[in-house]
Chains A and B, each alone.
Chain A
């Protein structure tokens, strides 16, 4: 303590001072049942816990009391699989930027905070149970054209044999970092899936291997996106801000160009 103020070492240890949180969590028995917000109070939350670890603690308490635990999606817990979701205090993946929910630390919250936790909302992402939503609409968009046809008979040519401009390769790689978590849809006021679809279109459109099927790809993926019932893009940019991988709006512009060009070609 220096002049009555905590020094740096003590501020670091503040992360270990436990927090008491007031949680408002969406509980829904199954897809056909109506859901509601249920209040929980959780004590002993540490700043170094991840958001999902905080929910694990809550679930341990609920199980020990004989109550049904809160269901939520998770897998890798290191921000690469795109499985975790959650709308936290009105933002997908919470208030931090460029992180998934599993990478969100509780030090972003304060003792006594109320945290509202809801599932991602879109008619194309129906709730399965509690905080788990069905994001298979993204799989169907991907299946509609998010691939290249390659001869795998044993004569496959090494992709590195084709010279590719570094700028294009970098942009394709940036687009390919989309983990398909659905935060773009959750953030968009229109529940639009254009950032996801455009990233998947772009990662192929920028590479020579992807150009072969580019016309059909963009048309088929956009058609599937519309069939799934996602909303229209009105360029608010919320998706780009909330994307844990920083997928850029330039991908949507590229998809708009690709689609216009493909449609005019027939």
Chain B
């Protein structure tokens, strides 16, 4: 019981849910890359993810729970941390001792959360409507076209790219930080940090590249 209530438990929850979401990002970007490299494979993978019962009824709920736990705990931590210093400093030189990204995780996280709302509306709500409301028959070839068409409007592409930049900033601190929270700080830490920061740059860049690529290469009928 003491574990559930303690400040350290909140660190563990943030770290573990964050690491889980990082693994999901890796899977997501891999499948997205297929939409550039091989539309057929992208269709196959998307159809599998969309209709496999294990993915739909076990992994998808776990993912949604992971997202909710991560951002709810983020809000709880932010509120508690603000309460710990109700009278602030007249002069506070935060940049003297900590990088901007580490001090503003709540803001980068809020942008990513707002993006998730748009992203869910764009793809998840559409998918649920297609399958369960309109009860359309299975069509394993529709995904590539649907995805590319989504990026036709410039406003959506720009919003996605901005969100990926903020996602990168969030990962820049969050990914490496999750190891420290779980108690991992040893001779491997410099390399862990290098890998985590590389991930934080490469993965959002790939997401942004895919969005821009589809915007610049629309399907011509």
Interface residues of A (CB under 8 A from B): 24, 26, 37, 87, 89-91, 95, 116, 118, 121-124, 187, 189-192, 194, 219, 222-223, 225-226, 229-238, 241-242, 249-250, 252-260, 263
Q: Is B81 an interface residue (CB 8 A)?
A: yes
Contacting residues, chain B, for A194 (C-beta < 8 A): 7
From A116, A223, A230, A238, B91 is in contact (CB under 8 Å) with A116
Interface residues on B, range: 35 or more
Q: Is B220 an interface residue (CB 8 A)?
A: no
The answer to whether B89 and A118 have CB atoms under 8 Å apart is yes
- Minimum distance in angstroms from B7 CB to a CB of chain A: 5
Q: Is B86 an interface residue (CB 8 A)?
A: yes
For the complex, would chain A's binding face be called helix, strand, loop or mixed by DSSP majority? mixed
The answer to whether A234 and B93 have CB atoms under 8 Å apart is no
The answer to whether A259 and B91 have CB atoms under 8 Å apart is no
Contacting residues, chain A, for B102 (C-beta < 8 A): 234-237
Question: Which residue on B lies nearest to A233, using beta carbons?
Answer: B11
Contacting residues, chain A, for B90 (C-beta < 8 A): 24, 26, 37, 116, 118
Q: Is B153 an interface residue (CB 8 A)?
A: no
* Complex: A204 Cα to B66 Cα, angstroms: 36
Q: Is B85 an interface residue (CB 8 A)?
A: yes
- Minimum distance in angstroms from A218 CB to a CB of chain B: 9
* Complex: A31 Cα to B94 Cα, angstroms: 26
* Complex: A236 Cα to B181 Cα, angstroms: 11
- Minimum distance in angstroms from B95 CB to a CB of chain A: 9
Return the 5 tightest CB-CB contacts between A and B, nearest first: A90-B93, A257-B183, A253-B185, A231-B84, A190-B81
Q: Is B70 an interface residue (CB 8 A)?
A: no
Within 8 A of A (CB), among B31-67: none
Contacting residues, chain B, for A89 (C-beta < 8 A): 91, 93
Q: Is B83 an interface residue (CB 8 A)?
A: yes
The answer to whether A256 and B183 have CB atoms under 8 Å apart is yes
What are 24 sample pairs from A and B whose C-beta atoms fall under 8 A apart? A89-B93, A91-B96, A118-B90, A118-B91, A121-B87, A121-B89, A191-B81, A222-B6, A223-B6, A230-B7, A231-B81, A231-B83, A231-B85, A232-B7, A232-B77, A233-B7, A234-B77, A235-B181, A241-B97, A249-B185, A254-B185, A256-B183, A258-B183, A259-B8
From B6, B97, B183, A254 is in contact (CB under 8 Å) with B183
The answer to whether A253 and B2 have CB atoms under 8 Å apart is no
Q: Is B3 an interface residue (CB 8 A)?
A: yes
Known: A189-B98, A241-B98. A123 touches B7 (CB 8 A): no
- Minimum distance in angstroms from A226 CB to a CB of chain B: 5
Question: Which residue on A lies nearest to B176, using beta carbons?
Answer: A235
Known: A226-B7, A232-B7, A235-B173. A191 touches B94 (CB 8 A): no
- Minimum distance in angstroms from B198 CB to a CB of chain A: 19
Contacting residues, chain A, for B155 (C-beta < 8 A): none
The answer to whether B96 and A90 have CB atoms under 8 Å apart is yes
Contacting residues, chain B, for A238 (C-beta < 8 A): 94, 97-98
* Complex: A263 Cα to B3 Cα, angstroms: 6
The answer to whether A222 and B92 have CB atoms under 8 Å apart is no
- Minimum distance in angstroms from A131 CB to a CB of chain B: 13
* Complex: A258 Cα to B12 Cα, angstroms: 13
- Minimum distance in angstroms from B42 CB to a CB of chain A: 37
- Most interface-central of B86, B180, B182 (chain A CB within 10 A): B180
From A219, A236, A258, B2 is in contact (CB under 8 Å) with A219
* Complex: A24 Cα to B10 Cα, angstroms: 38
Contacting residues, chain A, for B105 (C-beta < 8 A): 234
Contacting residues, chain A, for B87 (C-beta < 8 A): 121
Question: Which residue on A lies nearest to B12, using beta carbons?
Answer: A260
The answer to whether A222 and B83 have CB atoms under 8 Å apart is no
- Minimum distance in angstroms from A219 CB to a CB of chain B: 6
Q: Is B191 an interface residue (CB 8 A)?
A: no
Q: Is B184 an interface residue (CB 8 A)?
A: yes
Contacting residues, chain B, for A257 (C-beta < 8 A): 183
Contacting residues, chain A, for B10 (C-beta < 8 A): 232
* Complex: A168 Cα to B12 Cα, angstroms: 26
- Minimum distance in angstroms from A50 CB to a CB of chain B: 21
Q: Is B103 an interface residue (CB 8 A)?
A: yes
Q: Is B108 an interface residue (CB 8 A)?
A: no
- Contacts A189-B81, A235-B177, A236-B98 aside, 17 further interface pairs with beta carbons under 8 A come to A89-B91, A95-B96, A116-B90, A118-B90, A122-B84, A123-B85, A189-B94, A190-B81, A191-B85, A229-B84, A231-B83, A232-B81, A234-B77, A234-B105, A254-B185, A259-B8, A263-B3
